[in-house]
Structure 1
């Protein structure tokens, strides 16, 4: 092998090593990292780091959030190393978009996340209006009876859903609770089609809730954002449409902050859409 080939081989190995170091570093960072942070952490020159990230992004091993310009692992990395949403930590302080949604709506807004084989409420902002709610921070939510859970399950692989429901009792919390796995699966298909879920008097009497999935940079549904309100305050179709749009916009923002760059279903194009009327969301 001549010297030219040796140099080219060394450079190729250096690029590969740097790319693997970037993937490993991003895998350990839930909040993603900027170009500058990666440069400082890995001591790779800015120009070289930019080229490595561009190559990884082209092959979808990393993605870049359009909101905060941070880099995250992409869908190809998830397939490569089998990254699971269960590896993500839980929250206590509600993220800014959740606080904003609660302030805008005046209702209870909370986040639900997969923790192992459970779906757990990880942060919550209480409503200005009184509301007696089943869900509290740290509490597991029932898979079959909560929009917060079903809006995540609808976007998980079928075998994962089967595993989560294995040996689970489908308790009837109210007369409106889904009672069989077949009913749940049929409902999940509807949620996938419309991009969000609505729950009315299924878990709590006189409680209406709407939930939408939050996607990570790997295109996995990793959590959901839910708005819950007393049913008697949500009888107006316009109120329901407005609440749904607030939740969908919040889910989109949270997804983009996690580096998700894929498409969204039924999301308003502008914030002004939240004040517009429309059809009652399907239930």
Structure 2
């Protein structure tokens, strides 16, 4: 990435904002300064600007900083999960009825993924998860769908810090391979998981986007691999998921048309 001359303060503000987006539970002044390799005084001054404009807030008790309400424009503000689940339920139920398989709605929570809603499949043998369960971003189609459509400045800080743990022989544990997979996801607009976290489990996901094209959640269909082939996921389920994700985007942001894709596969270097 080539920096624009004379814009150091702007870059530092974005770095602080991106760092806050990684810490779901809030971050301390000292921790932020150390992570960004900035003096405490500089970090404090940048945080004061962000707080003043509503992009960051400081908890009065813990004194930790986290993203503020204005951060929604970067797609990094955590949505109210109960409201999100209630709003999305009719769309998720229709998707489960159409596919007969397990349907998930998830959000990014720091450097992990959290299930907001999970509707069981109609089959005795099925994929399932608990609401509130936290799972890795890199080893799930839901996590990869979100990572592919986060703001670039956030992704650049987030990816190198992910624990790319191996769960199966198919898990992506190489950063360059993960970046290539995310580029392919941006191009085709849906993500696949072919036994990357659990043997015998396949899933396909699409990102729910805000008006700027940033991911705020992901919707997923998952099933045993013997019942869901890669071809079926790409040809039959992906269009249904993209439609559901677009419906959810319009429910969350009803006054603004949501862009279906804001990037091509190529990324700025």
TM-score range, shorter chain: 0.5 to 0.7
Q: Secondary structure at the match of 2:170?
A: coil
From the superposition, tell whether residues 238 and 211 of structure 1 become closer, same or farther in structure 2 (CA, over 3 Å).
Answer: closer
2:187 counterpart residue number = 193
CA displacement 1:261-282 (0-9 Å, x = unmatched): 13325xxxxxxxxxxxxxxxxx
1:243 maps to 2:237: yes
Map 1:1-283; keep pairs closer than 5 Å: 81-83=70-72, 84-91=75-82, 92-93=85-86, 95-131=89-125, 133=127, 135-235=129-229, 237-238=231-232, 240-259=234-253, 260-264=256-260
TM-score (norm 2): 0.62
The alignment's C-alpha RMSD in Å is 2.4
Q: Retained in 2: the 8 A contact 1:134–1:203? A: no
Return the offset for 1:165. 3.6
Unaligned runs of 5+ residues in structure 1 are 1-79, 266-283
Pairwise CA distance, 1:235: 3.1
Q: Structure 1 CA distance, aligned partners of 2:91 and 2:128?
A: 23
Separation in 2, partners of 1:110, 1:141? 12
> What is the number of residues matched between the two proteins?
186
User: In 1, Cα distance between the equivalents of 2:243 and 2:224?
Assistant: 21
Distance 1:239 1:111 in 2: 17
The 3 A distance-change label for structure 1 pair 263 and 100 is: same
**TM-score, L = length of structure 1:** 0.60
Note if contact 2:212-2:259 (Cα within 8 Å) is conserved in structure 1.
Answer: no
Task: Tell me, in whole angstroms, the C-alpha distance in 2 between the residues paired with 1:241 and 1:148.
Answer: 18
